[in-house]
Amino acid sequence: MDKVPPPNVSVNPNQTKTNVYKLKKAFRDAILFILFVTGIVLFQNRHLLPSDATIDAPAFVLPELDSTNMVSIPSKEKRTLLYFFAPWCHVCAASINNLNGFGESEIEVIRVALDYSSIEEVERFQSRHNVQGTIVLGTMDVREAYQIRGYPTYYIVNEKGSVVAGGMGYSTEIGMRINNFLNNE
């Protein structure tokens, strides 16, 4: 029985150079994309309240949408995620249910409606998007105090009442969880 020699495998040096070039180009493109997205986020967030726990979150007592209860924002009892939205905002509609995964023992989530024309408009938004949890009706004073310039905007406030994180634009549940974890003293 004769042994069959292995097939002759040849490596084309030009093909190897092409693959290395493609890999370097993909890596460069990924880095540029990350820098671009980071620049956009920094630009969007430039007017938000400082999130280094040096200032206290402005305190308000606001009416709850579905009842006659009044709600203090931020909560004086525990860590609070304040989510500011407008009922006409498409990004808010896409991201508001990302808040549903937070348990009450983890963080109190308060959704603050702003820039609405009527209570019915907020109720329609709540119904259409099956919004769960507390919704309060904000005012122009709240909008100004929290420096809201776009929707959605969110802040995380610690138990002492200090702003420890914030962001504007679409946020995933994972993104807000990471922000909460990284800014938990």
Same domain, 80 and 160: yes
Q: Give the mean model confidence (pLDDT) for residues 32-40.
A: 76
Same domain, 34 and 86: no
Q: Give the mean model confidence (pLDDT) for residues 74-80.
A: 84
Specify the higher pLDDT residue, 64 or 181.
64
Q: Print the domain residue range for 28.
A: 13-45
Same domain, 97 and 124: yes
- Band the pLDDT of 18: cuts 50, 70, 90: confident
Is the overall model pTM greater than 0.75, yes or no? yes
Same domain, 97 and 34: no
> 3-class DSSP state for residue 43?
helix
Same domain, 40 and 54: no
Q: How far apart are CA 96 and CA 126, in angstroms?
A: 10
Q: Is the pLDDT reported for residue 41 higher than 70?
A: no
Same domain, 103 and 178: yes
In a domain, 8, yes or no: no
Q: Cβ(168)–Cβ(157) under 8 Å?
A: no
- Radius of gyration (C-alpha) of the chain in whole angstroms: 24
Strand extents, DSSP E, 1-73 = 60-63, 70-73
C-alpha atoms less than 13 angstroms from C-alpha of 51 in its C-beta half-sphere: 23
Q: Is the pLDDT reported for residue 176 higher than 70?
A: yes
Total structural domains in the chain? 2
**Tokens, residue 134:** 């507390």
Task: State the CATH number of the domain containing residue 143.
Answer: 3.40.30.10
Q: How far apart are the first and last CA of the chain?
A: 74
Specify the higher pLDDT residue, 166 or 13.
166
Q: Is the pLDDT reported for residue 33 higher than 90?
A: no
**Tokens, residue 65:** 């949408």
Same domain, 95 and 148: yes
